[in-house]
Amino acid sequence: MSALTGKSVLLIIGGGIAAYKALELIRLLRGRGLAVKAIMTKAAHEFVTPLSVASLTGAKVHDHLFSLTDEIEMGHIELSRSADLLVVVPATADLMAKMAHGHADDLASTALLATDKPVLLAPAMNVRMWLNPATRRNADQLKRDGVLFIGPNDGEMACGEFGPGRMAEPIEIAAAIEKALTPQAKPLAGRKVMITAGPTREPIDPVRYISNHSSGKQGYALAEAAVVLGAQTMLISGPVDLPIPPGVGMIPVETAEEMLKACENELPCDIAIFCAAVADWRVARVATEKIKKAEGRAPSLAMVENPDILRTIATRTDKRPKLVVGFAAETEKVVEHAREKLAKKGCDVIIANDVSPESGVFGGDRNKVHVVSAQGVEIWPEMTKQEVARRLMDKLSELLPK
């Protein structure tokens, strides 16, 4: 008996050329022992027939929100919740836009809004539609909302153009469905993870400070991913404008010295990830009153070095976390500097990223990182900060001494 036996999928077929591949997908899913119910959008009827879909699912196709008989047999809310997973194949630009904005003006969008089950999208559209800033925004929003994605792949499209937007193959979608329906292992259950995030703020006087452009997005995404793997997770965060991920403990701090103190208070822990952009220097003497502007005379500020939080924790002789991970924001010679930092700071892994203004990493939603450790350098492709976080937490859970 497979882990999928007895589970069911609600397949929502959108109105795109790739809808014909939904038929092959139904065959694959039923072959794996899954029950499949289907909703077709109005536009989907232009591409595949309800008769083909019903023949393959062995069940009635649902396509009307305001159907009296359907509503009596199985209401739209029950339909959206009776399955273990909702899968949208193909996920059109239109369906993604509706989902991102919470629309519910037909059966498909209403079921997607009303469900309490995970949702997996297999987008398919013309490359320009996929790359359009509106679709990019919608996809990023849906990922933040916890919606799962498979594809799209790069390839030739039905319209003759080439690029990202081609729907993942039915076999890939079936594998993603299988993964989504298999209970996730919790490799970090019983482990404690501490993550620093955001910038620090070093005061000059009661109204001014020195800081940087760190948004905290990567650190917050890491905290979210650590919770998914079962870790007790503490975020030690400088001032940012982000919601605290569910299940994450939070210690807000302002200065580097406060951040170090908060980190030390959280020891012992299993994994410590230093993702915050800590100011290297602070003003030697913080003015107690606002420094007055004097014509032609700018104040000169004497600076002192801030504590090196990463090195302080990584080189401790007692309560050193089992795995110490540092982020290195570089604007040039990214890997070279990361290698030097690994040796100098005494940490186990350095995640190096290019934060030069052209990279758009600071404040942006995407990241391109190099993972540098004693084992060598891994160059990861550009992906969302959420994807970097998930992949990195998986890797750290493997590296963590048992």
Ligand X SMILES: Cc1cc2nc3c(=O)[nH]c(=O)nc-3n(C[C@H](O)[C@H](O)[C@H](O)COP(=O)(O)O)c2cc1C
Interface contacts to ligand X, rule CB under 6 A? 14-18, 41, 43-44, 90, 92-95, 124-125, 129
Residue 243 DSSP label? P
Q: What does DSSP say about strands 148-149 and 366-367: parallel, antiparallel, or unpaired? A: unpaired
What 3-state class would DSSP assign to 364? Answer: coil
* Cβ proximity to ligand X, 155 vs 239, nearer residue: 155
Tell me the residue number closest to ligand X, measured at CB. Answer: 16
* Cβ proximity to ligand X, 17 vs 204, nearer residue: 17
A 10 A CB-CB count for 331 gives: 12
Q: How far apart are CA 104 and CA 99, in angstroms?
A: 8
* Cβ proximity to ligand X, 18 vs 259, nearer residue: 18
User: Min. distance of Cβ 64 from ligand X in angstroms?
Assistant: 13
Long-range contacts of 63-71 (CB under 8 A, 24+ apart): 63/39, 63/107, 64/107, 65/106, 65/107, 65/110
Catalytic residue among 159, 269, 275, 347: 159
User: Min. distance of Cβ 41 from ligand X in angstroms?
Assistant: 3
Residue 44 DSSP label? G
User: Min. distance of Cβ 130 from ligand X in angstroms?
Assistant: 9
* Cβ proximity to ligand X, 123 vs 245, nearer residue: 123
Q: How far apart are CA 221 and CA 71, in angstroms?
A: 40
Q: Judge contact between 23 and 49, C-beta under 8 A.
A: no
- Quick check: is 347 catalytic? no
User: Min. distance of Cβ 89 from ligand X in angstroms?
Assistant: 11
User: Min. distance of Cβ 109 from ligand X in angstroms?
Assistant: 8
Task: Compute the half-sphere exposure of residue 7: CA atoms within 13 Å on the CB side of its CA.
Answer: 21
Q: How far apart are CA 188 and CA 186, in angstroms?
A: 6
User: Min. distance of Cβ 18 from ligand X in angstroms?
Assistant: 6
* Cβ proximity to ligand X, 121 vs 269, nearer residue: 121
* Cβ proximity to ligand X, 44 vs 349, nearer residue: 44
Q: How far apart are CA 263 and CA 272, in angstroms?
A: 9
Provide the strand spans (E) within 231-341. 232-237, 248-252, 271-274, 281-283, 303-305, 323-330
Backbone angles phi, psi at 44, to 5 degrees: -60, -30
**Matching residue, tokens 């004693």:** 374
* Cβ proximity to ligand X, 14 vs 151, nearer residue: 14
User: Min. distance of Cβ 96 from ligand X in angstroms?
Assistant: 8
Which H or E run contains 82?
Answer: helix 76-82
Q: String of b and e for 35-53 (b: at least 16 CB within 10 Å)?
A: bbbbbbbebbbebbebeeb
- Catalytic machinery residues: 159
